[in-house]
Chain A
């Protein structure tokens, strides 16, 4: 599975959009981009995933560049409860689970 690169930390003002970038320049054609977050030692929480089209759900939007080498997770109106570590993961559902890699993610702090 392709590796990802994320900034270690970001701040966002409460009520503003939080845009979290992820680079995955070695992504292959059958690999999906997944985003999870972990709030202070709780179990990681699934946010959204996509293959090549932009995706939106009740939590966030995922924008994937046309060449698929990078993506951005957008939290449209960040709240204090969105403070968490956000993980970008790239993998193919067809591969074995033994190479799932969470990495160290981006620590997002939402500021009042």
Chain B
């Protein structure tokens, strides 16, 4: 079984709809991250969480919100989806201390906003 899972894997939605992307991990890591990737570009950080009570904005947080429901779960919401949020979204986890912040990524969610 995969250590970091994302649901859904693919999603098509319409402009203005609220959607949620979910991430779960079985690695026991405290830190979790959400990134987006646009075609031909590197990953950009949206939000990150260092523990259940900690939420931090990344470089492109506008239009997104997150919820850390438990150590193992970190959800990303698009409150009112717009077409330029069409992208590939990745969740990642890391364990500070033991592996110098090595990050482990999920398989991604491909989102299309019409």
- By a beta-carbon cutoff of 8 Å, the part of chain A in contact with chain B is 32, 34, 36, 41-46, 49, 87, 91, 93, 96-98, 100-105
Q: How far, in whole Å, are A98 and B40 apart by their CA atoms in the complex?
A: 21
Q: A97-B33, A98-B48 are in contact. Are A46 and B42 (CB under 8 A)?
A: no
Q: Is the CB of A98 within 8 A of B58?
A: yes
Instruction: Please indicate the chain B residues that have their CB under 8 angstroms from the CB of A32 in the complex.
Output: 100-101
Chain B facing A: main interface SS: strand
Can you list the 9 inter-chain pairs with the closest CB atoms, starting with the nearest? Answer: A43-B105, A102-B42, A93-B101, A102-B43, A97-B48, A93-B100, A103-B42, A44-B105, A104-B42
Instruction: Please indicate the chain A residues that have their CB under 8 angstroms from the CB of B50 in the complex.
Output: 97
Given contacts A97-B33, A97-B45, 17 further A-B contacts (CB under 8 A): A32-B101, A34-B102, A43-B90, A43-B92, A43-B108, A44-B43, A49-B100, A49-B102, A87-B42, A93-B101, A96-B56, A97-B31, A98-B57, A100-B45, A100-B103, A101-B42, A104-B40
**B24 to chain A: closest CB distance in Å?**
14
Instruction: Please indicate the chain A residues that have their CB under 8 angstroms from the CB of B102 in the complex.
Output: 34, 46, 49
Q: Is the CB of A42 within 8 A of B42?
A: no
Instruction: Please indicate the chain A residues that have their CB under 8 angstroms from the CB of B88 in the complex.
Output: 41
Q: Residue among A97, A98, A102 with the most chain B CB within 10 A?
A: A97
Q: List, sorted by A's number, 19 A–B pairs whose CB atoms are closer than 8 Å.
A: A41-B88, A41-B110, A42-B107, A42-B108, A43-B106, A43-B107, A46-B102, A46-B103, A49-B102, A87-B42, A93-B100, A97-B48, A97-B50, A97-B58, A98-B48, A100-B45, A100-B103, A101-B42, A104-B42
Instruction: Please indicate the chain A residues that have their CB under 8 angstroms from the CB of B106 in the complex.
Output: 43
